[in-house]
Amino acid sequence: MERTQVYLTDGSSSRLKVLAKKNGQSQSELIRVVIDNYLDVHSGLTNKEKLDIVASAAGSWKDNDISFEEIRKSFDRD
């Protein structure tokens, strides 16, 4: 992850603090979500192109011998 500095207006800063607190997120996390959403919308890809990208991932794990039950158990708390 790369660190960057952004200057916000007082109004934007106040609204960001309120929304982050309301959602139980840090301000940084909320900023990342908003930027990612903006980039997704303005990426220039059509919906079909986005679906094609997702579809191309289908079956990508078919040859992996992974036990999802074991993975899930590893996250269980004792």
Q: What backbone torsions phi and psi does residue 46 show, to the nearest 5 degrees?
A: -75, 165
Percentage, residues of the chain above pLDDT 90: 41
Residue 13, pLDDT above cutoff 80: yes
Residue 24, pLDDT above cutoff 80: yes
Residue 68, pLDDT above cutoff 80: no
CA distance 38 to 17: 19
CA distance 19 to 61: 38
